[in-house]
Each structure stands twice: as C-alpha cells, then as structure tokens.
Structure 1
Amino acid sequence: MTTARWWDVAFGGALAVMAITVTLYPADGSLGGALATLAALGLAYLGFGRRGIRLAGTGRTASSLAFLATVVLGCGVGAAFTPNLSTLQAIGFPVVWVLAGSYLRAVLVSGILAVSVGLGLTVSLGGTVAAMAEAGGIEAISFIFALALGTWMTRIICASDRHRRLLDELTRTQGELNALHRAAGSSAERERLAREIHDTIAQTLTGLVMLAQRTRGELTTTPARVMAAQTSIDLIETNAREALTETRALVATLSPVREPGMGLADTILRLADRFTQETGIQTDATVQVGDIDREVEVVLLRCVQEGLANVRQHSGAEAASVFIERVGAAVVLTVSDDGRGLGVPRVDPNTGFGLAGMRDRVLLVHGELELGTRPTGGTLLRVTVPLPAPLALAAPAAPLSRIKADA
C-alpha cells in the first residue's frame, strides 16, 4: 500500500476523474474553485504527500502530517464548491489509514474527514437543515464503510508485518542452525581424522620406534647380529613406505580399508604376519566370514590394529591370536594374548586415545566392545558388530583363512 507508483496512479487518477466530472457537470460558479482545489491537492501530493506516503510506517513525519491536513481540508473545501467533489473522500480515506500511524488515530482522523466533507456537502446543497441531514446520512455511511475498509486494511498490513517478522526469525534461526551443524560437522570430522591417524600412522610409527630400538641393540652386540640388523632395517624401510602411503590416503580423504585386490581376510593375515616379524610375538589369525559391509570391515580392521598395538605395548606376551567369525546376524572379533593381563589401569597421554577411539568407532555401527582378562591369563578383547539387514538375512558364507606366523 505504500508503493509510490501505486499511489501515483491512484491519487493522480482520482484527481483526473474529478476534474473531468466537474468540467462536464459544473455547478453554478463552482468550476474555478473546484479545479483550483484539485490542483492544490495535486501540488501537495507532488510536494510532500508522496514523500510522506513513502515514509509511512517509519513514524509520523512533517510530510505525513501536512498531507493529512491538506487532504482533510481539501476534501471539505472541494465538496463545498460542488457535491461532485465529495467523491474525493474515496481516495481520502485510504490516505488517512496509511498515514495516521495507528488504528485509533486512523479512526479519529477518518471521523474528522467525514465531518469536513459533510460540512462542505451541506454548504454545496444549500445550507438548509434538510441539506445537513442529507449530508450527515451520506457521511455516516461513508464513515462506516471507511471504518470497515480501514480495519480490513490494517489487519492485512499487520498480518503481513507479522509474517515478515516470522520469516526473518526463521531465516535467522536457520542461519544459526546451519552454523551449529557446520560446527558439529567440523568437530565430528576432527574426531574421525584423529581416530584414522591413530589407527594408521600412529600404529605404524610405533612399530618403527620399537624396531629402531631393537636395531640399535643388535648393532651394539657381536658382528654375528649384523644380518639380523639388516632385516630390521629392511622392515623399517617397508613400514616407512607404508606410513607414507597411509598419509597420502588420509590427505586424499580416508585411508584405504585394504589394499587393492586384497580382501579383509588377506589384510588381517598380512597384519598378523607383519606383527610377528616386528615384535617376535607368535601370532595366529583366523578369519571365518565372507563378504561383509565395507563400514563393518573398517571397524574390524581398525580394532585389530588397535588390539595388536595394545598387545605390543602393554602385554609382555609371547603369543597372541586374532579370530573373526560370524555369529548369527553379527560378526565377532576376538583379540587375545597370554601376557600379564589388564593389571592396574594406566593412562598414557601419548597413547591413551586408542581404547576410547576404538569404543567410539564400534558405537558408531551400534556394536559392543568388551575388554577383560582370560581365565588362563592374558587379555581378551571382544568386538561384536551387527550386520546390515540384507547381509544379516543372507545365508552365511564361511570361508576359512588361517595363518600361523612363528617368531
């Protein structure tokens, strides 16, 4: 309702129609005064009325007040020159409702406008009591109609403002939610990367450290140990190359679950073989599952890596085993050793992420993790991961892959 172009057409069109009407049907001696009144209203609109309408809703301004007074007075004066100009109130009432600034003020000014036009109409009709009664009846109807129209306009404008505020609030809330989601996503991604780095590069580098320590001891003994030292150095080079490959894979997005052309069973067996070579701990690995979901493979592989890393660092074991089998609609991983067992829990600030990260990883696939001591001594780690529905319903395939690596 406050678009300047709309008001240009409405107000200018109303003045033009009134000018044509009074020209075609002039009252005695009233044509000049009527046209002068219409011209004054047009100049007032161009001078300050248009600006006042454009600023409507930002508070009462001098332009708004001046144009309201001009419209109220101009409609009354025009009606006094000729009854035809009483029709100007058809555009006068909308102006009042737009510029008044509040519902009560709009009702009050509309009443003043009706009185002004009624007085002018009484004068143009002869100034008699009958003319006053006729003008009063006309203006009463006009006021009631203006009140109904203004109330309807006010409700539409209020509803539009309310919808605009709700839309602004919704947009602002969506922006806040997007920011929170981005922050949560960044946090989750940092945690995921921390787990990946720990389960890949950190484990490999830990092995390199232990191999370097062993090599240092071998080189300080008799020359007969030179060949053994050479083997250890070859292992260090191999592991360093694998660490570089894993780093590049992480930078790309995610380290590979397994090497191209190798299944989960082959990958687990290779890990066990390398673990035996690095640590001298006799390691058995048995995998009795067929094709399973890639996400489940990731969890199992990382848990094997972390379980063997704990055996390496904390168990003091001579033998360890890795066993993966399908039990109903789940896959069960068991990593055990014959070492000293859990003993007193220790927190290592450099390596303490492993168990918590493994537990988080298992929970992400709705699995369970158990850590305890074997009845015969040593530590037992058991991870149970449910299979996705299609795989859980499929007939279990149980190919057997087994390796026994000797120290």
Structure 2
Amino acid sequence: MISVNTRTWWDIAAGVTLVALAALFLVNPDNSAGERIVLIGVLAGIGAVYAFGARRFIAIDLADDEDPPLGLGLSLQAALLALVTVGVFVDPNMMSAQIVVMPLIWMSARSTVHAVIANICAAALFGTAYAAGGGWTSGSIGTGFTISVVSAAFSVALGLWITRIATWGVERQRLLEELTATQGELEAAHREAGAATERERLARDIHDTIAQSLTSIVMLAQRLRLEDTGSEAAQLIEETAREALVEARALVASNAAVTPSAASGSLEASLVRLGERFERETAVRVAVDAHLEVPLSRDLEVVILRCAQEGLANIRKHAGATAVSLSLATERDFAVLVIRDDGRGLGGYRLADEGGFGLVGMRDRLALVGGSLQVTDAPGGGVCLTVRVPHPSVHPQEAFQ
C-alpha cells in the first residue's frame, strides 16, 4: 500500500500548483475581476475534487486487486474535465492545471483503456476551449490543439510507462512471495527428512546394540535356568530382559523409515509393508485393507503412517494379540485408519489418562492437522483404534470440530 508520506507529498504538490496558478491569475492584468473570480472558483473546485474524492485513489495498491468505483471515478473525471475546460476558455494559462489533473485521471480510472479514453477526451475539450476562448482564430486553434494533444500524448506515454512498472512490481512481489512460501515448504520437507533419517539411525543403533545385548541376556538367563533349575533370580532376569527386548523392538519398529515417496510407492503400499514387517517380527497375523478414493498430501500420509506404527507398537507391547486387522478407507470428507486386535483389551485405560501407551502423543499429532483419535474396546475382545484425518479440501479446524 502507498504510504501516508506519499499521499502527503501529493497534497503538497497539488496545493503548491493550485496556489501558484491562483497567484498567476490574480496578477494577470489581462483578466477582469469577473474572470478572476471564475478562475479562482475553478481552482477551488479542482482542489475540492482532489481533497474530497480523487485523493483517496492515491492509496490504491495494484497488489490488492482493488479498482476505483466506476461511478465515482467517472464523476470525478467529468468534474475535473469540466472545471479545466471552463478555466481554459476564460484564460489559456489554465492549461497548466493539467499537471495536477492528468495524474488524477489516471489514478481514478478503472483500467488503462479507461484512462486513455479520458485523456483523449481531455485533449479534445481543452483544445476546443482554448480555440473558443481565442475567438476561433487559426492561431488559437493551432496552438490550443497542439498544446492539448502534446499534453495528452505525454500523459498517455508516461501513464503507460508507470502502469507497466507498477504491474511488473506487483508480479515481482507475487513471485517473491511464492518463492518464499516454496522455500518454507522445502525447508520443512528437509527438516522432516532429516528427522526421519535421525529416527532411522537411532532405530538401527538400538537394534544393533541394546536389542542385541538384551538378546544375549535372555540367552544367558535361559542357560542359567537350565543349570540351576528353579532359580527365581534367573527367571526374573529372563522375564525382565524379554520385556526390555520387546520394548526395544517396538521402538525400532515405530521409528523405522516407511514414509511414502515416489520411490517406495503409495501410502497403501507402505501400510502393507508395515503390516508384513510386523507379522514377520511378531508372528501375529496382520490383515491389511487399504484404499483411498482421494490421495492425501505427503504430510498427512506421514501422520497416518506414524499413527499406524504407534498403533502396532502398542499391540506388540501390551495387547498379547494373535491377529490384527488394519484398514484405510475414505468416509465422506475423511481418511479413516482403523486398527483392531483380538488381545486383552483396554483394561480400564482411558485416552484422557496421561502417559499410557503413547496414545496422547498420537492424539496431539492428529490435532495439529485437524484430525481425531478414538480408542475403544473392540466387540468380542481386543482394542479398536480409529484415526480420522481430513482431506485437503476440508478446513482443518472445521474437520477437527
């Protein structure tokens, strides 16, 4: 938006020009008292049109796609042209008022064509008024139309040049904003990729160090129990090591890199691979049925994958299930992920409880994208986890509500 300082400078320029013309008309001995009154009235009218109407158009910014109201713009232009025409008829020196009037015509026009037409009309009116005021002599006709045509031509050329520069500036600003937004998205993608790489590295380290050490502890505890039958300490060591091993493997699984990409395939394929990996590692049957009618953005796909990973990790750690079903489908304006198991159930756990099963973190992750999480006891035993994520066409806050 054009600043207030720019408008102030316009006020100064218009005021100085009108005052200078008023002084010129007052000291011109060729003007009678009546003519001076008319000329001062014309200048006052131009000042009033500027102050109470045309001045507002100085603040219009092309970047806001805002156009002056057609009726008001035409009225102001007609008033300016009429006032200057009367003034030129009385005193040819009123042609100097074009310094103020022509820019105001451009700023109050709704389009370039509109401004050019107004300039042509101004040339015709001012030239005619000059010739009529000079008695329609050949000199007055030639001088009047020469001045008016040259002034209009200069106004059109300068107006087109300034308009082109302004349009170029607006386009450049829009391109800069788009570039900034793209850079922000790229930075976010790089951060996500870096975080995913770091999670995968940590998962590998856990698998190669802690998980392997726990496996060794389990094997040593089993050997100790064989050598010392009935040893409660050996049994406790084995059970504790097995629990820690399950936790470590679940942590590895929940941080494994399975995010969809052009190379790895679709979200549906990633869920199938996730289920196959879980089945290989736990010997728990996993049935995957994933189909989306409308594709999701990469960010939403990552959210769903992380929810699926966390859900399967919870089953691995707590459910004691023998079968798991994982489905992904479209329901109205949502992508719905449902994970069911036939394990021991919630056992009184509530999603509002802090800390348990990592579901609070899943709920918070979904809230960021306008999604929701529901955890209930499944019919016939086990747990049913339902994740709802809105499609990009739905406003996230509306979907969340």
Question: Post-superposition shift, 1:129?
Answer: 4.1
Question: Post-superposition shift, 1:51?
Answer: 1.8
1:95 maps to 2:98: no
Cα deviation per residue 1:132-189 (whole Å; 9 max; x = unaligned)?
Answer: 2221111122122222212221221121112112111111211221221122122112
Structure number, greater radius of gyration: 1
Q: Contact (CA 8 Å) 1:52, 1:67: kept in 2 or not?
A: no
1:174 maps to 2:183: yes
- The aligned residue for residue 293 of structure 1 is none
| 1:45 partner amino acid | Y
The 5 Å alignment of 1:9-48 reads 9-25=12-28, 27-28=31-32, 29-48=34-53
- The aligned residue for residue 7 of structure 1 is 10
CA–CA separation in structure 2 for the residues paired with 1:4 and 1:215: 91
- The aligned residue for residue 224 of structure 2 is 215
Cα 1:56/1:208, change in 2 over 3 Å: closer
Cα 1:218/1:63, change in 2 over 3 Å: farther
| 2:14 partner amino acid | F
Question: Post-superposition shift, 1:197?
Answer: 1.8
CA–CA separation in structure 1 for the residues paired with 2:61 and 2:187: 35
1:162 maps to 2:165: no
- The aligned residue for residue 188 of structure 1 is 197
| 2:212 partner amino acid | Q
- The aligned residue for residue 76 of structure 1 is 85
Q: Contact (CA 8 Å) 2:92, 2:130: kept in 1 or not?
A: yes
SS at match of 1:60: coil
CA–CA separation in structure 1 for the residues paired with 2:74 and 2:195: 56
| 1:64 partner amino acid | G
SS at match of 1:59: coil
CA–CA separation in structure 2 for the residues paired with 1:56 and 1:70: 24
Q: Contact (CA 8 Å) 1:52, 1:63: kept in 2 or not?
A: no
Question: Post-superposition shift, 1:87?
Answer: 0.7
SS at match of 1:126: coil
Cα deviation per residue 1:265-308 (whole Å; 9 max; x = unaligned)?
Answer: xxxxxxxxxxxxxxxxxxxxxxxxxxxxxxxxxxxxxxxxxxxx
Higher relative contact order (CA 8 A, sep 6+): 1
Unpaired stretches in structure 1, ≥5 consecutive residues: 248-346, 352-407
Q: Contact (CA 8 Å) 1:52, 1:64: kept in 2 or not?
A: no
Q: Percent identity?
A: 37
1:138 maps to 2:159: no
Question: Post-superposition shift, 1:56?
Answer: 6.0
| 2:149 partner amino acid | A
- The aligned residue for residue 401 of structure 1 is none
Q: Contact (CA 8 Å) 2:54, 2:104: kept in 1 or not?
A: no
| 2:88 partner amino acid | A
Match of 1:60 among 53, 64, 68: 68
Cα deviation per residue 1:238-285 (whole Å; 9 max; x = unaligned)?
Answer: x99xx9xxx9xxxxxxxxxxxxxxxxxxxxxxxxxxxxxxxxxxxxxx
Cα 1:24/1:209, change in 2 over 3 Å: farther
CA–CA separation in structure 2 for the residues paired with 1:93 and 1:84: 16
Q: Contact (CA 8 Å) 1:117, 1:139: kept in 2 or not?
A: yes
Instruction: Give TM-score, length-normalised by structure 2.
Output: 0.53
CA–CA separation in structure 1 for the residues paired with 2:226 and 2:72: 96
SS at match of 2:53: helix
Unpaired stretches in structure 2, ≥5 consecutive residues: 249-278, 284-401
- The aligned residue for residue 50 of structure 1 is 55
| 2:8 partner amino acid | R
Q: Contact (CA 8 Å) 2:91, 2:133: kept in 1 or not?
A: yes
The 5 Å alignment of 1:149-298 reads 149-220=158-229
After superposing the two structures, state which structure 1 stretch, 158-167 or 59-68, moved more.
Answer: 59-68
CA–CA separation in structure 1 for the residues paired with 2:28 and 2:67: 41
Question: Post-superposition shift, 1:348?
Answer: 4.4
CA–CA separation in structure 2 for the residues paired with 1:40 and 1:66: 13
CA–CA separation in structure 2 for the residues paired with 1:56 and 1:67: 19
Q: Contact (CA 8 Å) 2:54, 2:108: kept in 1 or not?
A: no
Question: Post-superposition shift, 1:74?
Answer: 2.0
CA–CA separation in structure 1 for the residues paired with 2:74 and 2:199: 62
Aligned length: 241
CA–CA separation in structure 2 for the residues paired with 1:63 and 1:4: 20
| 2:148 partner amino acid | E
Q: Contact (CA 8 Å) 1:89, 1:117: kept in 2 or not?
A: no
